[in-house]
Structure 1
């Protein structure tokens, strides 16, 4: 049982609706971190912007990003 409840419905919040719709479109569902960060929609939005900034910075080759994500998930024990 999770220590923090997971939110799966946007409850009419425009930030959550946009984030949840995007994740459902890309991944077919919501990722667990999004369901937890949904308790504070501005933090969820900021985390998404941070992730986009890293991807768009050009500091890592685009072909390397999926490998980095996979490696981090493996280190953290997350199935990816």
Structure 2
């Protein structure tokens, strides 16, 4: 049994709604990590801001950033 249940759109705080909308626009669904971070809106905002800045960074080539994401996911045991 999970300790935290994902927060669906209807229960999400008003401040989290733009991130739900953005996920639907980009991916067609709200990502599970958005639903989980919505338990703590300041954390949701910080994580989404970090990911946005990381995506915009041009210091690393795009293919290397993709490899870094895969490596971190593997280290964390995430099959995503």
The alignment's TM-score, normalised by the length of structure 2, stands at 0.76
Stretches of structure 1 that go unaligned for 5 or more consecutive residues are none
Stretches (4+) displaced over 6 A: none
What TM-score do you get using the length of structure 1 for normalisation?
Answer: 0.76
Task: Give the structure with the higher percent helix.
Answer: 2
User: 1:3 matched to which residue of 2?
Assistant: 3
Query: Alpha carbon RMSD of aligned pairs, Å?
Result: 2.0
Aligned length: 80
CA contact (8 A) 2:16 2:41 kept: yes
Q: Tell me the secondary structure at the aligned position of residue 70 of structure 2.
A: helix
- How is 1:1-80 mapped onto 2 (pairs within 5 angstroms)? 1-11=1-11, 13-80=13-80
